[in-house]
Amino acid sequence: MESYKKGDIQKNRHYKPIYVSNFTRDIRNGAAKEAASAVVVSWARDSLLTANDTAKQIVDRIVSEAAARIYS
């Protein structure tokens, strides 16, 4: 078995650069935050948020609508 030096990208096929995964994760998180805030702003404007909504109901609605906005 060949020995690999630390950081040898060409020979080590199991190597996954960390900066790529961090970059894509940041893009996904940014899109999710943007979609969720757009959902909340539109609900507040249309008076769809009421005092009777529990936090869990609000979060569930935000997640479902934000996911629909991201993947549509």
Q: How confident is the model at residue 15 (pLDDT cuts 50, 70, 90)?
A: low
pLDDT in tens, 24-49: 666 667 777 777 777 777 777 766 66
End-to-end alpha carbon distance in the chain:
47
Q: What pLDDT score was predicted for residue 57?
A: 78
**Closest to 66 in 3D by CA, of 28, 10, 20, 9:** 28
Of 61, 41, 45, 42, nearest to 53 by C-alpha is: 61
Residues 6+ apart with CB under 8 A from 31: 70
